[in-house]
Structure 1
Amino acid sequence: MDIYQLVVAVLFGSIGLGYFVYGVRQSNLGFRLTGVALLIYPYFFDSIWTLLAIGVGLLLVPRFIDL
C-alpha cells in the first residue's frame, strides 16, 4: 500500500464515519449502511483508481437511493 492509497482510505473512512453518525442520529438506514461500506471497502481493493471510483460511487448512493 503506497501513501496515496492510504490517504484515500483515510479520507473516505472519515467521510464514512460522518455518514454513519449522521445516519444513526437521523435514523436513516441508507446513510448508516453507506457509512459502514465506506469504512470497510478500502480493505478489499488495491488500485488507487478503484478506490476513488468506488468511494465516489458510494458517496452518491444516499442521494439517489432512499432507504
Structure 2
Amino acid sequence: MNEELLLTELIGMLPSPTYIVISILFGVIGLYCFQIGRKTTNPRLKWGGLALMFYPYLIGNDTRLLVIVGSALCALLYFWRRS
C-alpha cells in the first residue's frame, strides 16, 4: 500500500508531455541562435541562445512560466539579431 502511494507521488512530480515538447522546441531555437551568434561573432545571440537552451532546467514543472520566459527570450533574440 505504501509503494502505491509513493508511485503516485513520483508520477505527479514528472513534467507533462507539453512541458517536454515546449522545452525541446525552445532548446532547438536556442541552439540555432547560438550557432548563428558564433558564426557572426554576435555575443548577444550567442549568450541568448545559451540562455534559451538551459533556462528550462531552472524552471519547475510550471508550463505557463516556461512559455512566458521562453517567449520573452525569443523576443529579445529577435530584436538583438541585427545589432
Taking structure 2 as the reference length, the TM-score comes to: 0.74
Q: Could you tell me how far apart the structure 1 residues matched to 2:22 and 2:46 are?
A: 20
**What is the percentage of aligned positions where both structures have the same residue?**
28
Q: Max radius of gyration: which structure? A: 2
Structure 1: which 5+ residue stretches go unaligned?
none
Structure with greater contact order relative to length (CA < 8 Å, sep ≥ 6) = 1
Q: Could you tell me how far apart the structure 2 residues matched to 1:2 and 1:53 are?
A: 17
- The count of residues paired between Structure 1 and Structure 2 equals 67
Correspondences of 1:53-64 after superposition (within 5 Å): 53-62=68-77, 63=79
Q: Could you tell me how far apart the structure 2 residues matched to 1:41 and 1:66 are?
A: 23
Q: Assess, with a 3 A threshold, how the Cα gap between structure 1 residues 55 and 65 changes in structure 2: closer, same or farther.
A: same
Moved over 4 A (4+): 64-67
How much does 1:7 deviate? 0.3
Structure 2: which 5+ residue stretches go unaligned?
1-14
